[in-house]
């Protein structure tokens, strides 16, 4: 009795070094990955970021800080057109991929026998077994002047001469990328659909809705997390894709990554290449942030989730509005030449959006 009471105070002291060593152990265990991430991800990013603010000299980089590269990247029409094209291609690829992936994921999740689902997922990932380059080249074979599609259509007598809009433009980039990223879109949507309790669908039917309306009111909202993941997974890599536009894009299909490559390796203009790379990263970040904010608005304003105070509501509305405005300005700047037009158009659209938002809120 006395012994145990005496030993008690020493217990925490004995436990403490062990806990500290556990923390050290943990750090030791993550350190290889952390080092890897620091060296191979953070360091190059910092380098590029630094380069983008330096001055370009002939064959060298001078250490004079300047914003000149950014001014060039954002005002020169060539870069603006290419950035806009990259954004457009990435959005088109995302749209096509997710819209086509959803029915496949839906079919596998809802109609394929549970014992065969793994087989289906396995089949969906089979394209990954060949090299990405080979897949791109295969699309060249399919879409080319004397390719599968053209010779097939000519053999059927549907066309007299080969179609030229199939290859070496943004269409072929979208087709190729949509095919390449299909599994990345199918899998997250499939996972989200798998998580939906099937009794929700029966409940929807039981409460008087047809299968289609039940899909719209129950399945689709519950699958949204998967759709959002799919959008991010497809959108972020495609906007910076380099190989596909290089191989199937032709002169009309150059994207940001191609320009960055030319600036770095052909023209030896590291600062401008870096500024362009950073700008495109910013663009991706802006687009995604805006999308996220719109979703948050949807959640907080329209659905009125419990615990939404007027303050939170106001903050979210203001944040989303600010981001929407920012993105609008950027996009309009990319499209038009006139800064005045851009700002006034953006302000007008912003005002419309706010009015619409306010009306929706008061309706609730």
Where on the chain is the footprint of other proteins (CB under 8 A)? 197, 199-200, 202-210, 213, 217-218, 221-222, 303-306
How near is the Cβ of 225 to other proteins at its closest, in Å?
Answer: 10
* Exposure b/e, 215-247, CB count within 10 A at least 16 = b: beebbeebbeebbbbbbbbbbbbbbbbeebbbb
Residue 214 near residue 205, CB atoms below 8 Å: yes
Nearer to other proteins, 209 or 268 (CB): 209
How near is the Cβ of 362 to other proteins at its closest, in Å?
Answer: 13
- At 56, give phi and psi (nearest 5°): -85, 125
How near is the Cβ of 194 to other proteins at its closest, in Å?
Answer: 15
How near is the Cβ of 193 to other proteins at its closest, in Å?
Answer: 14
Nearer to other proteins, 219 or 258 (CB): 219
Nearer to other proteins, 40 or 305 (CB): 305
Nearer to other proteins, 218 or 332 (CB): 218
* Exposure b/e, 166-178, CB count within 10 A at least 16 = b: bbbbbbbbbbbbb
Nearer to other proteins, 192 or 284 (CB): 192
CA 218-178-86 angle, to 5 degrees, is 110
- At 64, give phi and psi (nearest 5°): -75, 125
Nearer to other proteins, 201 or 320 (CB): 201
How near is the Cβ of 195 to other proteins at its closest, in Å?
Answer: 10
How near is the Cβ of 188 to other proteins at its closest, in Å?
Answer: 17
How near is the Cβ of 208 to other proteins at its closest, in Å?
Answer: 5
Between CA 9 and CA 320 the distance in angstroms is: 55
Nearer to other proteins, 313 or 329 (CB): 313
Instruction: Write out 148-159 in H/E/C secondary structure.
Output: HHHHHHHHCCCC
Between CA 138 and CA 135 the distance in angstroms is: 5
How near is the Cβ of 213 to other proteins at its closest, in Å?
Answer: 8
How near is the Cβ of 111 to other proteins at its closest, in Å?
Answer: 17
Encoding tokens for residue 138? 């295969």
Nearer to other proteins, 62 or 206 (CB): 206
Instruction: Write out 90-109 in H/E/C secondary structure.
Output: HHHHHHHHHHHHHHHHHHHH
Between CA 229 and CA 234 the distance in angstroms is: 9
Nearer to other proteins, 220 or 314 (CB): 220
Q: For tokens 């619409």, what's the residue?
A: 356
DSSP calls for 120-161: HHHHHTGGGGS-HHHHHHHHHHHHSTTSHHHHHHHHTTS-SS
Q: For tokens 């007598």, what's the residue?
A: 157
């Amino acid at each position: 009795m006395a012994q145990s009471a005496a030993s008690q105070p020493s217990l925490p002291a004995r436990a403490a070094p062990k806990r500290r060593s556990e923390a050290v152990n943990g750090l030791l265990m993550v350190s290889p990955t952390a080092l890897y991430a620091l060296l191979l991800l953070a360091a190059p990013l910092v380098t590029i970021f630094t380069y983008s603010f330096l001055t370009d000299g002939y064959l060298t980089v001078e250490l004079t800080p300047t914003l000149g590269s950014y001014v060039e990247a954002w005002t020169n029409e060539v870069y603006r057109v290419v950035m806009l094209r990259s954004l457009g291609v990435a959005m088109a690829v995302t749209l096509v991929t997710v819209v086509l992936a959803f029915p496949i994921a839906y079919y596998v999740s809802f109609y394929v026998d549970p014992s065969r689902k793994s087989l289906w997922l396995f089949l969906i990932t089979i394209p990954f077994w060949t090299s990405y380059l080979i897949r791109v080249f295969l699309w060249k074979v399919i879409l080319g002047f004397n390719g599968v599609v053209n010779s097939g259509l000519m053999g059927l007598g549907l066309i007299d001469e080969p179609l030229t809009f199939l290859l070496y433009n943004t269409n072929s980039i979208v087709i190729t990328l949509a095919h390449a990223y299909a599994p990345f879109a199918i899998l997250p949507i499939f996972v989200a659909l798998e998580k939906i309790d099937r009794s929700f669908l029966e409940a929807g039917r039981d409460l008087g809705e047809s299968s289609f309306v039940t899909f719209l009111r129950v399945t689709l909202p519950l699958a949204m997390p998967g759709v959002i993941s799919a959008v991010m997974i497809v959108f972020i890599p495609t906007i910076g894709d380099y190989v596909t536009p290089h191989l199937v894009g032709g002169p009309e299909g150059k994207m940001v990554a191609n320009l960055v490559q030319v600036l770095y390796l052909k023209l030896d203009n590291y600062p401008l290449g870096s500024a362009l790379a950073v700008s495109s990263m910013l663009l991706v970040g802006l687009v995604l942030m805006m999308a996220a904010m719109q979703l948050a608005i949807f959640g907080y304003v329209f659905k009125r989730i419990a615990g939404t105070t007027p303050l939170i509501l106001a903050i979210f509305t203001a944040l989303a509005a600010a981001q929407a405005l920012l993105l609008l300005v950027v996009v309009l700047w990319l499209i038009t030449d006139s800064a005045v037009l851009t700002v006034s158009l953006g302000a007008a659209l912003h005002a419309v959006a706010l009015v619409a938002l306010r009306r929706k809120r008061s309706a609730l």
